[in-house]
Structure 1
Amino acid sequence: RKMTVYAVRTLRDVIQHLNDIERLEAAVPSDDQQEIRPEYTIDFSEVQGQFLAKRALEIAAAGGHNVLMIGPPGAGKTMLAKRLPTILPPMNTEESLEVTKIYSVAGLFHQNRMITERPFRSPHHTISVNGLIGGGTIPRPGEVTLAHNGVLFLDELPEFPRSVLEVMRQPLEDGVVHIARVHASLTYPAQYMLIAAMNPCPCGNYGSDQLCTCTPGEIRRYVRKISGPLLDRIDLHVRVERPLYRELVSDEAQEGSGVIRERVLAARKRQVERLRPFGMFCNAHMGHRAIRETCCVTEQARRLLQEVFDKFKLSARSYDRIIKVSRTIADLGESDEIGQEHVAEALSYRNKLQRM
């Protein structure tokens, strides 16, 4: 159905328009909205080395998984995280409209067409609970909602107050945020990818070739600032080491974002077709029923899963997340079944903090 749409910046513009003081011009729809694609000024080809971290981020992008990067200062964790949106699938019209509405409600929308670039939010560790989740006297969207359909990057994860981190558990699980106030109860969308980064210890050198000056007690207290239930909701844990000198000065061309994105798009296409009956589009959103009905596991992979489950006393949530990541790795490998090699790689990304 055709309708006339007016783009306004302030309530005063609306009043003047309705009183015929200063009429607004009708917005003209763009015929090429479907063809609009974000143009990034950064690229994965600028990252020298870091092949393991790049592989983990490719898996995360392909399946919509959360990632925790652990490594010493200056290893490139932030550089890698900022390039994740460049390998994510472009937003479709519905996703673009959702993001545009959120930013309009938050008073952050200042352009003439819909937002087409996936959000990348990176709040400072001094942020409050209301700033992260949303709220206030007049409830406004928080960072988890502003990151909807995009990426929420938390650098220096242990430096965030534990109370702030714990409130993320519900939106990470449900994809929405419920804010209850005396006069209103609101629900904001919060379907985002969490990318977190942290040092392995307070001085940052534990496990590296540099001397660590931290005591075992200090390391334990530092790591325990992040609760087990929150870590359990992060699918991929990857160690990021300082790049070698020969990698930094190498003239060898690094794989660009465009090449990686093509593999991600192919994997996402397989997921969309497989999960269409469940109304999902990526593996990270699968529930237990979807896992049971769509994830075919070989006998060798089942034996490996049983051995690991019994040995490490995994929770049901951990088991499901291993299957989800394994399914994504299989999708990247164009395999219909989850094989032993897919499970083995998924297990290599499990909780590395517990090994410290």
Structure 2
Amino acid sequence: MFPNLSETLSVSRIGREILLIRVEIGIRKGLPNFQILGLASQNTKESRDRLRLAIESAGFIFPFATIIVNLYPNHKPKKVSFFDLAITLGILEASGQWQNPFPQRILALGSVSLSGRIHASEELLELLWASPKTRETIFLIPSELRERHLPEANYIYLSSLEEIKEIDWLPEIITFPPLEETEPESTWDKEILNPSQMLAFSGLCYSLLGRHHALMVGNPGTGKTKLAQLVSQMQPSWQPSDLNLDEGIPLSARYCLNGKVKPRPFRQPHHTTTEQALVGGGSSLTLGEVSLAHGGILFLDELTLFREKAIESLREPMEAGKIEHARVLTRETLPADCTVIAALNPCPCGNYLGIKTCHCSKKQIRDYLRKISGPFLDRISIHIHLFNQNESRTVEVVREDYRRKLNEAMDFRMARLVEERKREVFSSPAERMNGGFEKSLLRFSYRQKQNTMQLARTIADFNLSSTVKEQHLLEAYEFVQNSLFFEDLN
């Protein structure tokens, strides 16, 4: 007696790799037995009894026979998957209780409860975005996702197994709708700053525009944390290129909700955060803070209290905008293109160069700052000093004005880059350098010189200038040369 066979499609994820899975079902006469083969996850193996009750609750008959489920390709582990719906449909088709109206075209994703209800989750939505799509593929997904922002494809929605015989099997074509960005939550509308804070605020605005990393050094109470939190609510709007990244699971899957884009992320991990929690990894390859802040800000307050290895682990993602994790069987690349903003005190007591008396020796200060290595500092373009100088607060900052200016500058910057690519002519700030200015860069490393040029270009964009002027170069130089503070302590 030949077994009754059926096939259903689904998807699984290993790290960031997306696999198209063929769920093969075989039913033959024999002792009641239900096996799932093909390196299924523990969650999938535990679904056997649940699916038996779900099928019976929906009014179908669970076959009193030997049932073999094979997940092909069966040599790869299926870590993140939602095979419940695909396995259930395969059993019903192989037992003759349901006929697939679109053989080899339906890709089923969903979790099945004991009552036969079909459920979704955020992980399922990410998997849906990352699934391979063709004109012929029809996604069978939970009805819960009908109101969510979905990629362009053909869909059939199912809320329970009971609907299998009743629903209209006419696929609904979803086209990619224009995304609307939700306004970031605002805790401030207007602030009054002193001149030093205003200079730091301008530097952080340049950091947001040009994705330059920034470091604030200053005495306690000078507003370092406050300034970082202010600019976190002023981040520029998402650009279309930001939401269509070739990274396995697109950015839009994580930051879109009901057709609206969440604001750019702002992550502020505690200084006790481990190296793995910061950059990701582990046996299941989880995302770290640097990846969760992708496209936004990673704020490291009290930088010298972080573990030295954790700080050094940021060097590669700060420069490359991604991080590669190598394992025995796989190598994965995780997105990590965020703006790192850090803040620290200049000495253990925090009063060095401030109005209060500092009781720290030069050796104590050097030991305190030893965690911050030269290569790490080299990757920071904007160095900001905030020391107590009894300045009165006289500068008014209106949030909406600066956020509008940032968005205008971002549009100007993107248009300039497009135009320069077309003409294959790129503006060079070095053309504005004179001999005296070149001599002032002698103490800079090659990367610091590049940081100065790139920051000058960003400052010109912020001022909607198509050319880099001398004042833009001088302002950029002031921010970069503040890094010599660490060298002068030696």
Tell whether the structures are fold-level matches, with TM greater than 0.5: yes
The letter for the 2-side match of 1:345 is: E
Aligned-partner Cα distance in 1 for 2:249–2:232: 20
Shift of 1:36: 2.8
Q: In structure 2, which of residues 407, 410, 416 is the aligned counterpart of residue 274 of structure 1?
A: 416
Superposed CA RMSD: 3.2
TM-score by length of 1: 0.81
Shift of 1:159: 1.3
Aligned-partner Cα distance in 2 for 1:109–1:345: 35
The structure having more radius of gyration, on CA atoms, is 2
| 8 A Cα contact 1:202 1:222, kept in partner | yes
| 8 A Cα contact 1:61 1:88, kept in partner | yes
Residue of structure 1 in register with 2:281 after alignment: 135
In the alignment, structure 1 residue 179 sits paired with structure 2 residue 309: no
Residue of structure 2 in register with 1:286 after alignment: none
Aligned-partner Cα distance in 1 for 2:187–2:336: 26
Shift of 1:103: 8.7
Shift of 1:239: 1.0
In the alignment, structure 1 residue 293 sits paired with structure 2 residue 426: yes
Q: In structure 2, which of residues 298, 308, 312 is the aligned counterpart of residue 166 of structure 1?
A: 312
Shift of 1:347: 1.2
Aligned-partner Cα distance in 1 for 2:251–2:317: 18
Shift of 1:47: 5.2
Aligned-partner Cα distance in 1 for 2:465–2:239: 26
Residue of structure 2 in register with 1:338 after alignment: 468
Matches within 5 A, 1:10-25: 14=82, 17-18=85-86, 19=88, 21-23=116-118, 24-25=142-143
Aligned-partner Cα distance in 2 for 1:47–1:135: 42
Range that drifts further, 338-347 or 315-324: 338-347
Shift of 1:315: 1.8
Residue of structure 2 in register with 1:38 after alignment: 183
The structure-2 alpha-carbon separation of the partners of 1:243 and 1:111, relative to structure 1 and needing over 3 Å to count, comes to farther
Aligned length: 327
Aligned-partner Cα distance in 2 for 1:162–1:103: 30
Range that drifts further, 217-226 or 333-342: 333-342
Aligned-partner Cα distance in 2 for 1:100–1:93: 17
Q: Secondary structure of 1:78's match?
A: helix
Aligned-partner Cα distance in 2 for 1:158–1:53: 20
Shift of 1:85: 2.6
Larger strand fraction of residues? 2
Larger helix fraction of residues? 1
The structure-2 alpha-carbon separation of the partners of 1:241 and 1:182, relative to structure 1 and needing over 3 Å to count, comes to same
Residue of structure 1 in register with 2:232 after alignment: 85
The structure-2 alpha-carbon separation of the partners of 1:95 and 1:278, relative to structure 1 and needing over 3 Å to count, comes to same
| 8 A Cα contact 1:75 1:243, kept in partner | no
Q: Which runs of 5+ in 2 are unaligned?
A: 1-42, 52-81, 90-115, 119-141, 150-175
Q: Secondary structure of 2:179's match?
A: helix
Shift of 1:259: 0.9
Range that drifts further, 63-72 or 86-95: 86-95
The letter for the 2-side match of 1:55 is: S
| 8 A Cα contact 1:149 1:192, kept in partner | yes
Q: Which runs of 4+ in 1 moved over 4 A?
A: 10-18, 29-33, 96-105, 108-115, 242-246, 296-299
Q: Secondary structure of 2:291's match?
A: helix
The structure-2 alpha-carbon separation of the partners of 1:138 and 1:109, relative to structure 1 and needing over 3 Å to count, comes to farther
Shift of 1:32: 7.4
| 8 A Cα contact 2:179 2:260, kept in partner | no
In the alignment, structure 1 residue 307 sits paired with structure 2 residue 471: no
The letter for the 1-side match of 2:486 is: L
Residue of structure 1 in register with 2:369 after alignment: 223
Aligned-partner Cα distance in 2 for 1:109–1:336: 32
TM-score by length of 2: 0.60
Shift of 1:296: 4.4
Aligned-partner Cα distance in 2 for 1:142–1:102: 16
Matches within 5 A, 1:185-224: 185-224=331-370
Q: Relative contact order: is structure 1 or structure 2 higher (C-alpha 8 Å, sep ≥ 6)? A: 1
The letter for the 2-side match of 1:48 is: L
Deviation string, structure 1 residues 199-252 (Cα, Å, up to 9, x no partner): 0111000000001010111011112220011001000001123485842xx7x7
Shift of 1:97: 6.7
Shift of 1:162: 1.5
Deviation string, structure 1 residues 126-183 (Cα, Å, up to 9, x no partner): 2221111111121111111011000001111111121111111111111111011123
Q: Secondary structure of 1:239's match?
A: strand
Q: Secondary structure of 2:441's match?
A: helix
The letter for the 2-side match of 1:34 is: L
Q: In structure 1, which of residues 105, 119, 124 is the aligned counterpart of residue 265 of structure 2?
A: 119
Q: Secondary structure of 2:146's match?
A: coil
Aligned-partner Cα distance in 2 for 1:104–1:62: 21
Identity of aligned residues (%): 31
Aligned-partner Cα distance in 1 for 2:472–2:451: 13
The letter for the 1-side match of 2:405 is: R
Range that drifts further, 69-78 or 336-345: 336-345
The structure-2 alpha-carbon separation of the partners of 1:153 and 1:278, relative to structure 1 and needing over 3 Å to count, comes to farther
Residue of structure 2 in register with 1:61 after alignment: 208
Aligned-partner Cα distance in 2 for 1:242–1:52: 14
